[in-house]
Chains A and B, each alone.
Chain A
Amino acid sequence: MAVMRVNPTRMELTRLKNRLQVAVRGHKLLKDKRDEMMRRFIDLIKRNKELRERVEQKLTLAFKDFLMARAVMSSEVLEEAIMFPTRKVEIKPSIGNIMGVTVPVIEYKEVTDRELSPYPYSFAATSAELDGAIAAFSDILPLMVELAQIEKTCQMLADEIEKTRRRVNALEYVVIPQLKETIRYITMKLDENERGNRTRLMKVKDMLEKKDATI
């Protein structure tokens, strides 16, 4: 590992030691963060996969019903039948927080008027297939909203995990070894200087003693 370009001084050494301390602490924290995010992510992604499978399967069936409904009715009649829905879907989005990642949270509420039938048309003019399709769609909708929320959460969490992992690796394999190496280099250099100094002093003392003896 390359040694940083620094002056081998005592001040630099103290500075680097402080940096190493911070880096080690940061590394530990980030590693914990990564591990915890990973744990959450695994739970969520399993649910995500399960939900998506279910939604896709059910939706395909519902679309089949709807296709039948379209086939047996003229499209004008069909469009007219569902033009004014009697129910309304209200969602209240807010921002949640998983390990410092902002994730969407959706509160889902179906507003249905109890007086009115959930089907916004008269049964006389429409076919039974349409009723089935609409019922199927309304069954799926809560699942779809949940899927949307979880899938987005997973995406955002995956992004954050990737970033955190990069940081952890950069600290573990680049920053910390580099700092350690540089600290070692400075210590050695300082020690070497110290030794050099000591020999010089001894030499001088020797010379002085010799000079004293001859006089």
Chain B
Amino acid sequence: MCMYKMGVIGDKDSILGFKALGLSVFPVTQPEQAARLIHRLAKENYAVLFITEPIAKDIQETIDRYSAQPFPIITLIPNNAGSIGLGMKGVKASVEKAVGVDILFGERG
């Protein structure tokens, strides 16, 4: 049976800990490097990729390219400096797309 893998992409200081859990860890510093990595990993049986928000911020178009197909799933996670709200923005965007208006985050503006 072909086993799929999970990968974490981000700055080294944040993501190194996931290695102890058996995930593949790919430290990157440059967004371009990350974009190339995503394309490569998508071909290599990676089903889930976690990307830290500061890296994901600059490669939105690369991430969007995989949004139409079920795999790989690309999910944003905060890094060790805390969340910059990019992941939540994604959730908000899908609500707006589906419903037309924002019904979940309305109370916060």
> How far apart are the CA atoms of A134 and B18 in the complex, in Å?
8
A79 interface residue per 8 A CB criterion = yes
9 extra interface residue pairs, beta carbon distance < 8 Å, beyond A137-B17, A137-B20, A148-B48: A82-B16, A91-B3, A102-B70, A104-B71, A134-B17, A141-B23, A144-B77, A145-B48, A152-B75
B78 in complex: contacting residue of A45, A60, A95, A158, CB < 8 Å: A60
> How far apart are the CA atoms of A191 and B67 in the complex, in Å?
55
Contacts A/B (CB < 8 Å), 12 sampled = A60-B83, A63-B17, A66-B80, A82-B19, A92-B3, A102-B70, A103-B70, A120-B20, A145-B48, A155-B90, A156-B67, A157-B98
Beta-carbon contact of B47 and A48 below 8 Å: no
Beta-carbon contact of A56 and B97 below 8 Å: no
Beta-carbon contact of B17 and A66 below 8 Å: yes
Beta-carbon contact of A92 and B4 below 8 Å: yes
B13 in complex: contacting residue of A67, A119, A120, CB < 8 Å: A67
B109 interface residue per 8 A CB criterion = no
Closest B residue by C-beta to A89: B22
Chain A residues in 8 Å Cβ range of B101? none
Chain A residues in 8 Å Cβ range of B6? 89, 91, 145
B82 interface residue per 8 A CB criterion = yes
Beta-carbon contact of B73 and A152 below 8 Å: yes
Chain A residues in 8 Å Cβ range of B97? 158-159, 161-162
B48 in complex: contacting residue of A42, A87, A91, CB < 8 Å: A91
B residues sitting closer than 8 Å to A (CB atoms) are: 1, 3-6, 13-14, 16-23, 47-48, 50, 67-68, 70-71, 73, 75, 77-80, 82-83, 87-88, 90-91, 94-95, 97-99, 103-104
Chain B residues in 8 Å Cβ range of A70? 13, 16
Chain B residues in 8 Å Cβ range of A120? 20
A168 interface residue per 8 A CB criterion = no
B95 in complex: contacting residue of A55, A91, A158, CB < 8 Å: A158
B83 in complex: contacting residue of A56, A106, A133, A144, CB < 8 Å: A56
Chain B residues in 8 Å Cβ range of A149? 73
Closest A residue by C-beta to B49: A148
Tell me, rounded to whole Å, the shortest Cβ–Cβ distance linking B59 to chain A: 17
Chain A residues in 8 Å Cβ range of B99? 38, 41-42
Beta-carbon contact of A85 and B94 below 8 Å: no
Chain B residues in 8 Å Cβ range of A36? none
Closest B residue by C-beta to A53: B88
Chain A residues in 8 Å Cβ range of B83? 56, 60
Beta-carbon contact of B75 and A141 below 8 Å: no
A78 interface residue per 8 A CB criterion = yes
Q: 9 tightest CB-CB pairs across the interface, nearest first?
A: A63-B80, A158-B94, A158-B98, A104-B70, A148-B75, A82-B20, A93-B47, A161-B98, A88-B22
> How far apart are the CA atoms of A10 and B78 in the complex, in Å?
66
